């Protein structure tokens, strides 16, 4: 709200100055005004330094005064769950998040975030979108929604549990209050997990006070980066997804107002963001598992974890029944994963 008030005050002051100048009869100056956008990310400041800020800084520099994007972090202007509607109304101009968290009113939003076992590695996400048809499916879905333009999807880190107590069996998950994404929580509840929804910035305190027993929101890189490794003790090496799937979105009117060269620049910077995350997470996950000192690693035996993987396929079939388009995505996921398994190393290791 403070940011919004400041924005309105500045706008009013600028209008007053312009009016005063006109009355005094000063010469007209037809300067080309800078296009201003406000973009809010799902990430807090520490995480945003990596997942979004380098790309936005690069865009602002390359735009050379023609356009400037002001970056806001999780819940600074509106709560994450209201981002989609705020973008539709034009309260904000662009968003970086997953479809699931922002409650996007499209059937395929269920696949955003962590759709269980859809991916094994982070490269699976861009391949699925660019080579297996998900780009076209996402464009089709969002073209049916007024006011929002879906722009680009990319991958983040895998989904692991970080907990205050050790997890070494499926039974240990029962009753655990866990901060996670909507669809991931819907799936994990089958194993007794109690999904908890909180503002992102409240998670660390909730872990300290006992409101939360753990998180299933990220890989180990984020646990260290945002401070969660300081308030949890254990990291479960089993994961329910190899990569988070997130996207960039924009208010459709504001997007269409941009000249083509700025649209192209924004797309290039989105690709730069996707690339940065690929190596930052990939290297970070391995380094912190092997050299990190804050979290002890635990594992559930593969034979027992196979129950979770089998349940995921049942979950896929249930989601496929929700709409013909969802069925199409599930079919692609099955075909893709079968291809990877058949290809063998290094695509899959059994």
Q: Report mean pLDDT in 10-residue bins for the chain, 350 residues.
A: 46 44 43 90 96 98 98 96 96 97 97 97 98 98 97 98 98 98 96 95 96 98 97 98 98 98 98 98 98 98 97 98 98 97 90
Contact 91, 250 (CB under 8 A): no
Q: Phi first, then psi: what are they for 68, rounded to 5°?
A: -140, 130
Provide the token pair at 75.
């819940």
The residue among 222, 226, 347, 276 whose CA lies nearest residue 58 is 276
Question: In terms of C-beta density within 10 A (0-12 exposed, 13-18 middle, 19 or more buried), how is residue 66 classed?
Answer: middle
The residue among 156, 184, 143 whose CA lies nearest residue 96 is 156
Q: Report the side by side order of strands in the sheet with 214-218.
A: 194-196, 177-180, 214-218, 159-163, 234-241, 296-298
Determine the Cα–Cα distance for residues 58 and 54; give it in Å rounded to an integer: 6
User: DSSP class of residue 145?
Assistant: S
Contact 72, 3 (CB under 8 A): yes
Peptide bond preceding 346 in cis form (omega within 30 of 0): yes
Domain 35-157+244-285 annotated CATH 1.10.357.10: no
CATH superfamily of 159-242+293-343: Bacterial extracellular solute-binding protein, family 7 (3.40.190.170)
- What are the CB-based long-range contacts (under 8 Å, 24+) for 130-137? 132/332, 132/335, 132/336, 133/332, 134/329, 134/332, 137/108, 137/325, 137/328, 137/329
Determine the Cα–Cα distance for residues 330 and 114; give it in Å rounded to an integer: 14
The residue among 348, 114, 109 whose CA lies nearest residue 242 is 114
Determine the Cα–Cα distance for residues 151 and 267; give it in Å rounded to an integer: 8
The residue among 213, 228, 59 whose CA lies nearest residue 157 is 228
Pinpoint the alpha helices (H) of 25-178: 45-51, 53-63, 83-89, 124-131, 134-143
Determine the Cα–Cα distance for residues 285 and 219; give it in Å rounded to an integer: 7
Predicted model pTM:
0.89
Ranges in the chain annotated CATH 3.40.190.170 = 35-157+244-285, 159-242+293-343
Contact 258, 172 (CB under 8 A): no
Helix or strand holding residue 253 (H, E): helix 252-257
Q: Report the side by side order of strands in the sheet with 148-155.
A: 67-72, 35-41, 94-97, 245-251, 148-155
> From residue 213, how far is each of 157, 284, 298 by CA, in Å?
21, 24, 16
In Å, how far from its chain's centre is CA 281?
A: 14
SS3 112: coil
Determine the Cα–Cα distance for residues 117 and 308; give it in Å rounded to an integer: 9
- The neighbour count for residue 205, using CB atoms within 10 Å, is 12
């Amino acid at each position: 709200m403070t940011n919004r008030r400041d924005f309105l005050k500045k706008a009013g002051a600028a209008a007053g100055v312009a009016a005063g100048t006109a009355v005094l009869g000063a010469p007209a100056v037809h300067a080309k005004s800078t296009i201003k956008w406000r973009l809010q990310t799902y990430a807090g400041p520490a995480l945003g330094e990596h997942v979004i800020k380098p790309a936005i800084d690069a865009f602002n520099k390359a735009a050379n005064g023609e356009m400037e994007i002001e970056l806001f972090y999780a819940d600074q202007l509106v709560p994450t769950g209201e981002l989609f509607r705020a973008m539709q109304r034009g309260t904000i101009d662009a968003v970086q998040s997953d479809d699931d968290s922002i409650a996007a009113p499209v059937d395929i939003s269920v696949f955003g975030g962590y759709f269980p076992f859809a991916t094994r590695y982070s490269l699976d996400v861009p391949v699925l979108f660019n080579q297996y048809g998900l780009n076209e499916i996402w464009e089709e879905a969002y073209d049916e929604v007024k006011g929002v333009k879906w722009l680009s999807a990319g991958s983040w880190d895998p989904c692991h549990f970080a907990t205050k107590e050790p997890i070494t069996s499926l039974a240990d998950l029962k009753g655990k209050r866990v901060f996670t994404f909507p669809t991931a929580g819907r799936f994990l509840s089958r194993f007794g997990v109690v999904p908890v929804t909180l503002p992102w910035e409240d998670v660390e305190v909730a872990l300290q006070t006992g409101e939360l027993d753990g998180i299933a929101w990220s890989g180990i890189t984020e646990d260290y980066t945002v401070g969660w490794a300081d308030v949890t003790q254990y990291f479960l090496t089993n994961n329910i997804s190899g990569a988070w799937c997130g996207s960039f979105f924009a208010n459709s009117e504001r997007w269409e107002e941009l000249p083509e060269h700025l649209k192209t620049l924004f797309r290039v910077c989105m690709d730069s963001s996707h690339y940065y995350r690929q190596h930052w997470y990939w290297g970070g996950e391995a380094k912190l598992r092997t050299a990190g000192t804050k979290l002890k690693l635990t594992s559930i035996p593969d034979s027992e974890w196979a129950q979770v993987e089998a349940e995921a396929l049942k979950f896929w079939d249930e989601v496929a029944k929700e709409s013909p388009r969802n069925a199409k995505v599930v079919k692609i996921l099955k075909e893709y994963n079968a291809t990877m398994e058949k290809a063998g190393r290094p695509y899959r290791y059994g």
